[in-house]
Amino acid sequence: MLSIVIPAYNEEKRIGNTLERYGEFFRELKKQNRIGDFELLIVLNGCTDNTIDVVKKFRKQFQEIRYLNFERGGKGFALIEGFKDAIKRNSKLIGFVDADLASPPEAFYDLINKINGYSGIIASRGLKESRLKMSFMRKLTNRGFNFVVRAFLFLPFSDSQCGCKLFKREAVAEVINDLGITRWAFDVDLLYKLKKKRFKIKEVPTVWEDKKGSKLDLIRVPLLMFLSIVRLRILNSWFRGFIRFYDKLPEWIKVHHRLR
């Protein structure tokens, strides 16, 4: 079983296209015996729009769609709950993509084909072979964040944040209980924990397109991302006892619940 987890927060205008493209693409692959059973696991987190109605609509068309609906929000929380659900049902490959179709299904299938002897494989927008449609501001933010990740956590990847990743069940199961519910640094936390456990992760070029309708604030978010990495570094150091002082920083410096 292949589980593709899709976290969704107020995505009523964009998720329908994603479900249709992924559903049709992977159903055709299964028909051709190029993959086995698969599921699209949508994890709604704190939605206040009609995302759930869109998901229910497409579920009538694709029985491979399942969904979990939570009142609380956050990408990290959604992915952890999706991973736990997939592990519980013994999915052999567990991955995730963003709800906006920035990563087309062909890009995710490329991960399946290349995972081979690795425990995980991640799509990267930082490799020169990648084909991207990305704004200058997004490129600047990505490169800045990657510099911080390399400097603080020594991860060897050129892009830790691309929302297109795939892992083998045993790797996810090994670290799932150690992951923090982090909005901006979830991907980094996951990769860092896997690295500490000595799992082999491969980074490959990808196809990626910046989509309209993004709720990402490219002015405010870089600061929050930086603070998330600082907190993650403290938690994984001899100074973890000082985290309670960090968490008492004024709200104008950080949004506490988003960094946990």
pLDDT digits (tens, 9 = 90+) for 170-208: 999 999 998 876 656 789 899 999 999 999 999 999 999
- What is the tens place of the pLDDT at every residue in 200-241? 999 999 999 998 765 555 556 666 666 666 666 666 665 455
Residue 97 parent element (H or E) = strand 93-97
Residue 44 parent element (H or E) = strand 38-45
For the chain, domains (ranges, CATH) are 2-213 (3.90.550.10)
pTM (global) more than 0.75: yes
Radius of gyration over alpha carbons of the chain, in Å? Answer: 18
d(CA 247, CA 258): 11
Rounded to the nearest angstrom, the gap between the alpha carbon of residue 194 and the centroid of all alpha carbons in its chain is 15
In 3D, which of 207, 198, 39, 225 has the Cα closest to residue 123? 207
